[in-house]
């Protein structure tokens, strides 16, 4: 089980970025997203609407006490934080693949020391400033070694991939 | 040379998403980003500020006539569009790696048929709805086969990656 922990969501400012985090997590094989920060039912609804139509078992929930929640998750999960200061993914990915239950923390606001210190591994996708959405995507594709790209979602709606045009299959 | 074409940027709504596209493109080995849609000098300034401090030769520019620009680029470049309707990246990536000059179109607004039809290849990173930032990140990591993660930027500022803490090296 791979859970993504979106830390410090801010309504309005992060609405789209957090939605991108959730949808990328779902599409690229994660099982759940947990969102701390401002309580934003709208983001949950967007994600649930996608899952309802496009399938899969992806879960999304809000969390009011991030440190307590991560401490609790730490009992059964290996905690990874994605940060530009961390160890390069290419050095640590083989080790991470041995862990079956991961929580991947993805910051929005700056992640404070009490959260930072709960991580078992701090991992960087390059040491350059860029995007937590991009970092999460590369992380998941490498963790799953590309197998996530073949995941079946069995949704009410799906796409038949093609060279040209748009082919949508619905069974609603 | 890998250029990213950000199609249909909208001021305010896309400000952060377009910045994420630009910074992920830079961090993950692309050479240039071209932004069509609303003219947004602010996004260019954000990207130039990062490149100025963190190094590398990444360029960013605005473009008022996307179809004309892509037609022009098509003379010397293979045009890829990232779309959930396209051929799976895992099937086509080996073929794409043979092309040295790529333009990768990443939509913000819906990409209209005249742009869609200019693409030499339509490529999907899963056929699920998610994030163009995530899709671009996976695309670049696969196109470069991970070599982009070792790219040197020789900036005024850099990070010494570590297991814990934050180690920033400045030579300003």
Q: What is the CATH number of the domain that holds B15?
A: 3.40.1280.10
- Residue B7: strand, helix, or coil: strand
B92 to chain A, any CB pair closer than 8 A? The answer is no
Reference A34, options A9, A58, A12, A63; nearest CA is: A63
- Paired tokens of B77: 């470049």
Q: Is the pLDDT of residue A172 over 60?
A: no
Greatest alpha-carbon span in chain B: 50
A-interface mutation test, from B47, B137, B142, most A Cβ less than 10 A away: B137
> Taking CB atoms and an 8 Å limit, are B128 and A90 in contact across chains?
no
A-interface mutation test, from B21, B84, B132, B133, most A Cβ less than 10 A away: B133
CA A25 → CA B84, B99, B126, distances in Å?
15, 30, 12
Reference A18, options B19, B24, B131, B124; nearest CA is: B131
B29 pLDDT band, cuts 50/70/90, is very high
Per DSSP, helices labelled H in chain A are 15-27, 41-54, 66-74, 89-97, 113-116, 132-143
Mean pLDDT lowest among A56-60, A92-96, B75-79, B168-172: B168-172
Q: In terms of CA atoms, which chain A residue is nearest residue B88? A: A161
- Rounded CA separation A13/B41 (Å): 20
Residue A56 exposure: Cα atoms within 13 Å on the Cβ side: 26
Q: Is the pLDDT of residue A149 over 90?
A: yes
Residues on chain B touching A88 (C-beta within 8 angstroms): 149, 161
> Taking CB atoms and an 8 Å limit, are B86 and A50 in contact across chains?
no
Q: What is the pTM of this model?
A: 0.97
B30 to chain A, any CB pair closer than 8 A? The answer is no
Averaged pLDDT, B76-104: 97
> Taking CB atoms and an 8 Å limit, are B85 and A165 in contact across chains?
yes
Could you list the residue range(s) of the whole structural domain that residue A107 is in? 2-170
A-interface mutation test, from B6, B17, B117, B126, most A Cβ less than 10 A away: B126
Q: What pLDDT is attached to residue B22?
A: 98
Q: What pLDDT is attached to residue B3?
A: 98
Averaged pLDDT, B56-66: 97
| Domains in chain A, number | 1
B114 to chain A, any CB pair closer than 8 A? The answer is no
């Amino acid at each position: 089980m791979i859970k993504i922990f979106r830390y410090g969501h801010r309504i309005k400012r992060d609405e789209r970025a957090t939605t991108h985090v959730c949808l990328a997590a779902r599409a690229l094989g994660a099982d759940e997203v947990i969102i701390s920060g401002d309580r934003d039912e709208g983001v949950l609804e967007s994600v649930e609407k996608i899952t309802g139509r496009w399938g899969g078992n992806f879960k999304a929930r809000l969390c009011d006490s991030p440190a307590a929640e991560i401490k609790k998750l730490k009992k059964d999960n290996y905690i990874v934080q994605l940060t530009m200061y961390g160890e390069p993914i290419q050095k640590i990915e083989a080790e991470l693949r041995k862990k079956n239950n991961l929580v991947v923390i993805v910051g929005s606001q700056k992640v404070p020391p009490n959260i930072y210190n709960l991580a078992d591994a701090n991992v960087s996708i390059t040491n350059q400033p860029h995007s937590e959405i991009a970092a999460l995507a590369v992380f998941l594709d490498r963790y799953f070694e590309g197998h996530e790209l073949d995941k079946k979602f069995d949704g009410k709606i799906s796409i038949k991939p093609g060279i040209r045009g748009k082919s949508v299959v619905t069974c609603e």
